[in-house]
Amino acid sequence: MLVYTIGRTYLFDLLQAQLQARQVRLAQGADVRRAYDQLTKLQTEFRDTGIVYSCPVGQHDDLAISLAILVWAARHPHLHYWARALERRVRRPRPPVNWEAWT
């Protein structure tokens, strides 16, 4: 199994660059609005090592980081491999459940 180690700063920087370049379009919907709201509330701290993104105390950034991960994944060279693996799972029928064994 491949493991990808990507920092939050890289992901948010990539998302910001793609949004500014108009390479990413956000769909309409309540979840997307909440994700965008989380993005706008991110706090940035400039350190000697670079920018650090954090969310305010009591706030969440799970949807915002999900958007950033999707942008990263959409540009990744392994995207076609990941999609093939998902297609195989979708096409493979599940065996029927023997409900009698559960009683």
Which helix (H) or strand (E) covers residue 10, if one does?
helix 8-20
pLDDT tens readout for residues 51-91: 899 988 999 999 999 999 999 999 999 888 888 877 766 65
Residue 85 lies in a domain: yes
Instruction: Tell me the per-residue pLDDT of 9-38, one tens digit each, with 9 for 90 and over.
Output: 999 999 999 999 999 888 899 988 998 899
CA distance 77 to 54: 28
**What percent of the chain lies above the pLDDT cut of 90?**
50
Establish if 84 belongs to a structural domain.
yes
Between helices 8-20 and 62-75, what is the axis angle to 10°?
70
Q: How many domains does the chain have?
A: 1
Q: How far is CA 59 from CA 36, 65, 69, 94, in A?
A: 13, 13, 19, 40
Q: 68 lies in a domain?
A: yes
Judge whether 103 lies within some domain: no
Tell me if 89 is assigned to some domain.
yes
**Residue 2 maps to a domain:** no
Query: Could you tell me the two tokens for 94?
Result: 């599940």
Q: Is the pLDDT of residue 41 over 90?
A: yes
Which residues span the domain enclosing 43? 8-94
